[in-house]
Amino acid sequence: MAHRKKNRNVGIIGVGQTKHSSHREDVNQPEMIYEAVSLALQDANLTMNDVDCVVHGNMELFEMIHQPDMWHMLGTGAYGKDSIRITTGGTSGATISCAADNLVASGMYDIVMAIGFEKLQEGHTTAGITNMADPLWFRKIQAGALTGSSAYDVSREFGLERANRVSLTYRIIMDKHACLNPNAHRAFGLDFSQIDDLIKSSPKLVGDLKLIEMCSQSDGACAVIYASEKKAKELSRRPVWVRDHIAIHKEEIFTIFGYNRAFPVTKSHKFAAEQLFKRNDIKDPLNYFDVFEMYDPASWWAIDWLRDFFDLKGDEHLRLIEDKEVMIGGKLPINPSGGVIASNPIGATALVRVAEAALQVRGGAGDHQIPTPVNHALASGFGGTMWTVLTMLEKELNW
């Protein structure tokens, strides 16, 4: 039996997120979570009494808290509720969204709240990510999530000059979006006229990956409330429907550095997108979706991954960026929120993608709302050794 029809439909009826920032010394961890939880409840016009189950996710070793949902219950509101804790690294936020969707669709719970959280300033992020590598050997070699390999890939294929310009164009589009989003962590006010200057002046991290192109390290929390179709229709005028989701993981180490065309490597983003679109009968995803909230940890990865997600040919992915088709007002706006480059509280990040996509579908994104109708949205999560989670949201229950 292939993928079945959902047991029952699930709608997103509330979204809350904190301002993402590297200066949240004013709150401790549960207090920060409480901010997002209150905002989500307020958004859904609910109280904690209405919530049946709480799903919590983040990465323990970033803040060095074991079983953090025990302490965090002071902010999550889980007291007296069913509650589970699921994590999967960078994709955690997306995974808890999938979990909440499953928990509601199963019929076990009517209203479930997913809470993603990270306070990266309370640990050392790059060292934390490095700790994910096998302690017996690779931990001694890895440099966190930093690699210049995407920059190398794109540059080798299209020339360093064009690649650099596309990467910075993407980066500046994200900054322009972030400037419209009051919750964004980094919003510099960059302009396209600064591209050449930034290529020269921004400090290099690894290879051609520059500081300006890498995501921030943020403190932040996000909460999203999911409800059964019946409840969603009762409680919300504009529920956003979760159509489907898919998670694809990849083996423990990166073995993508052979660079020999006789040995092509299957890419997880591409595989996940193909599978998801196939089972939902989406033939032309680039035209189908009205917005894409992508987990883009660096602009180089974003421009490379665009091709994987939408199965683009030749240099189509670069042209979409050069022609600013990924900007608000373009053919397929990517990250009207400013994306992960602007704000990255890791355990919350992938849930923020779903939350922002839902806001776009609902038409409630404020200054960064896409002006044209948003009926179909896609959100991605990224983590681990090239893991992918994709979530499809819909305005209408008509698929």
Q: Please, which of residues 33-62 interact with another protein by CB under 8 A?
A: 54, 57, 59-62
131 sits near another protein (criterion: CB under 8 A)? yes
CB 374 within 8 A of CB 244: no
Q: Which of 31, 38, 48, 81 binds another protein (CB under 8 A)?
A: 81
Amino acid at 311: D
Q: Which is nearer to another protein, 138 or 288 (CB)?
A: 138
Q: Which is nearer to another protein, 207 or 330 (CB)?
A: 207
SS3 264: coil
Q: Which of 45, 47, 49, 139 binds another protein (CB under 8 A)?
A: 139
Nearest-approach distance from CB 289 to another protein, in angstroms: 21
Q: Nearest to residue 178, comparing CAs of 168, 166, 190? A: 190
65 sits near another protein (criterion: CB under 8 A)? yes
Q: What's the chain's Rg over C-alpha atoms? A: 20
64 sits near another protein (criterion: CB under 8 A)? yes
Site string for another protein, 338-377 (x = CB under 8 A): ----------------------------------------
Q: Which of 38, 126, 280, 375 binds another protein (CB under 8 A)?
A: 126
Site for another protein in 84-113 (CB under 8 A): 84-89, 95, 98-99, 101-108
Q: Which of 19, 38, 50, 149 binds another protein (CB under 8 A)?
A: 149
DSSP element (H, E) containing 196: helix 195-201
Amino acid at 106: S
Nearest-approach distance from CB 299 to another protein, in angstroms: 12
* Integer Cα distance of 336 and 333 in angstroms: 7
Nearest-approach distance from CB 281 to another protein, in angstroms: 15
Q: Which is nearer to another protein, 55 or 320 (CB)?
A: 55
* Integer Cα distance of 89 and 382 in angstroms: 9
Site for another protein in 241-270 (CB under 8 A): 245-253, 255-263, 265-266, 268
Neighbour-count burial of 149, counting CB atoms closer than 10 A to its CB (0-12 exposed, 13-18 middle, 19+ buried): middle
248's CB contacts (< 8 A; 6+ apart) are 268, 271, 272, 275, 387, 388, 389
Nearest-approach distance from CB 108 to another protein, in angstroms: 6
Site for another protein in 170-229 (CB under 8 A): 186, 188, 190, 197-198, 201-207, 211-212, 214, 216
CB 138 within 8 A of CB 256: no
SS3 375: coil
Nearest-approach distance from CB 366 to another protein, in angstroms: 17
Number of residues that bind another protein (CB under 8 A): 120
Region label for 398, one of left (φ > 0), alpha (ψ between -120 and 50) or beta (otherwise): alpha
Q: Which of 128, 239, 297, 339 binds another protein (CB under 8 A)?
A: 128
Amino acid at 265: V
How would you label 300-323 residue by residue, b for 16+ Cβ within 10 Å and e otherwise? bbbbbbbbbbbebeeeebbebbee
C-alpha distances (whole Å) from 264 to each of 40, 254, 259, 260 are 44, 14, 8, 7
Q: Which is nearer to another protein, 360 or 391 (CB)?
A: 391
80 sits near another protein (criterion: CB under 8 A)? yes
